[in-house]
Amino acid sequence: MRESTIMKIHYGTALAAVALVAVHILMRLTTGFVESLEYENVLANYKFVPYAAMLELILILLAVHGFNGLRVILLELKQGRMYEKAVSYGCLVAMFGLIAYGSNTIIRTNMGMT
């Protein structure tokens, strides 16, 4: 993929994530901060399908943005054909791994498999 396209994705995921993370944080402030972290409240959040879908979207957006950012930093430090391939594929694998791990939590909690 062209670097210009990757940077458009990087900026797009950033803007979308800012809006959704703001909603995610505001949900912590609807009740008291400590109260919002109580088991029943968190479970209710996960079981509310639109909120769970939003969490999944945040997970994907931040994983794409975060690991692409890490890739950019690592490529600024050092260049080379093998190194660049290793960094790019390594970040891609880590990104998919994190999305899979986070999705497992969201889906299983949403379906009441706790």
Closer of 88 and 109 to another protein (Cβ): 109
Minimum distance from CB of 68 to another protein (Å)?
10
How many degrees, rounded to 5, is the angle at CA 35 between CA 50 and CA 22? 45
Shortest Cβ 85–another protein spacing (Å) = 21
Token digits of residue 13: 């995921």
User: Which is nearer to another protein, 1 or 77 (by Cβ)?
Assistant: 77
Shortest distance (Å) from residue 96 CB to another protein: 13
Nearest to 96 by CA among 52, 53, 66: 66
* Residues contacting residue 6 through CB under 8 Å, at least 6 positions apart: 68
Whole-number minimum distance, CB 82 to another protein, in Å? 18
| Contacting residues toward another protein, per CB under 8 A | 7, 11, 14-15, 18, 21, 29, 32-34, 37, 39, 42-43, 46, 59, 62-63, 66-67, 69-70, 73, 76-77, 98, 101-102, 104-105, 108-109, 113-114
Q: Please report where in the chains the tokens 């396209």 appear, as a residue.
A: 5
**CA torsion angle for 35, 61, 90, 5 (degrees, to 10)?**
-160
Q: Which lies closer to another protein via its Cβ, residue 85 or residue 114?
A: 114
59, two tokens: 């997970």
